[in-house]
Structure 1
Amino acid sequence: MSRFIVHPIFFLKHNINCISRSFRTTFKTMTISIGDRLPEVDLYEDTPANKINLAKASIGKKLIIFGVPGAFTPGCSKTHLPGYIKKAEEFKSNGYNEIFCVAVNDPFVMSAWGKQTNVDGKVRMLADPACKFTDALELSVNLDVLGGKRSKRYSMVVEDGKVIDLNVEPDNTGLSCSLADNIK
């Protein structure tokens, strides 16, 4: 019985597509970090027709962006969002131009949640319905209890499109480092 042995050089010369594909699948982008620029991804405010790109919206501005696992959830509705609403005027007097809340929900749900919590003029509610922004930040997490892929709970300060402070909850959904009291 004879064996057929393929020399490694032959494999490299003749199967380059397989190798390059395997290299592409092994590279992983890194979670957004301090010093990184925001991704160019559209989010939605109130309706699918009203697109907001935070990378563009942050040019020449200082923003607070915080992500929550879902609209109308207890931790988000009772603690996280209310903290930012309560401190909105203080943040603005300290040089922050705007505050944005991002969740993997549709724009109509985010709009209704904003109306229920009286965010008008204080916090802008942005929907990430396909999780594209959250995935680009590498801050998504699978939460089956909320229907699948959602956002980890986080807060960040962005100045002129660049992240200058970032707080991601160590357990992805807790209520500690991402709260409004931790924004300086």
Structure 2
Amino acid sequence: MTIAVGDKLPEATLVEMTADGPTPRTTAEIFGGRKVALFSVPGAFTPTCSAKHLPGFIEKADAFKAKGVDEIACMAVNDAFVMGAWGKSQNADGKVSMLADGNGDFAKALGLEMDGTGFGMGMRGKRFSMVVEDGVVTSLNIEGPGEFHVSSAEYMLDQL
């Protein structure tokens, strides 16, 4: 079942690359008592994700902060090393946290997994965005296959 507005996020551990190496972060740590803009991409370094999705959130990071967002987080079913390298290549440091859902456990728990085996990508997470306040989903935007609109930074800013 897919998560919905008003639902509490399931417990999970994501991993972020830091100066000290891969660092686990629980959903309670990330979302508890905070307002977080989370967006998910099918894969780091992929065309739409690198050209439009992540750059939009980096460019508009200050606008999100001005609307009370404590953290902007990008998630993908990739490992922490890939997410860290992608964030570095996009100059995301200090603007967007790059969270690895290496085995896709969180995407699956959200009901937002995607079967990319036909494209040689294995199981991934769908492209989506959500605003989470103190662990509860307050807005949720799920893209259709091959689409990029409702999960964009611009669209999310209009919802805040």
Same fold (TM over 0.5): yes
Measured against the shorter chain, the TM-score band is over 0.9
Give 5+ residue unaligned stretches, structure 2: none
Give 5+ residue unaligned stretches, structure 1: 1-29
- Match of residue 150 from structure 1: 124
- Identity score, percent: 51
- Partners of 2:43 and 2:4 lie apart in 1 by 23
Partner-residue secondary structure (3-state), 2:109: helix
Query: Is the 2:22–2:80 contact (alpha carbons within 8 Å) kept by the matching residues of 1?
Result: no
- Partners of 1:146 and 1:100 lie apart in 2 by 26
Given the superposition, is the C-alpha separation of residues 177 and 112 from structure 1 closer, same or farther in structure 2, using an over 3 Å criterion? same
Counterpart of 2:81, as a letter, is F
- Match of residue 167 from structure 1: 141
Query: What TM-score, normalized by structure 1, do the two folds share?
Result: 0.81
> Aligned-pair RMSD on alpha carbons?
1.3
1:83 correspondence with 2:62: no
Determine which structure has greater relative contact order: mean sequence separation of CA pairs < 8 Å that are 6+ residues apart, divided by chain length. Answer: 2
**Counterparts of 1:42-81 in structure 2 under 5 Å?**
42-46=13-17, 49-81=22-54
- Partners of 1:155 and 1:113 lie apart in 2 by 19
Moved segments of 4+, more than 6 Å? none
Given the superposition, is the C-alpha separation of residues 56 and 31 from structure 1 closer, same or farther in structure 2, using an over 3 Å criterion? same
Higher strand share: 2
- Match of residue 118 from structure 1: 91
Query: What TM-score, normalized by structure 2, do the two folds share?
Result: 0.92
1:49 CA drift (Å): 4.3
Query: Is the 1:155–1:178 contact (alpha carbons within 8 Å) kept by the matching residues of 2?
Result: yes
Question: Which residue of the other structure, out of 8, 17, 23, is the alignment partner of 1:37?
Answer: 8
Query: Is the 2:58–2:92 contact (alpha carbons within 8 Å) kept by the matching residues of 1?
Result: yes
- Partners of 1:94 and 1:178 lie apart in 2 by 17
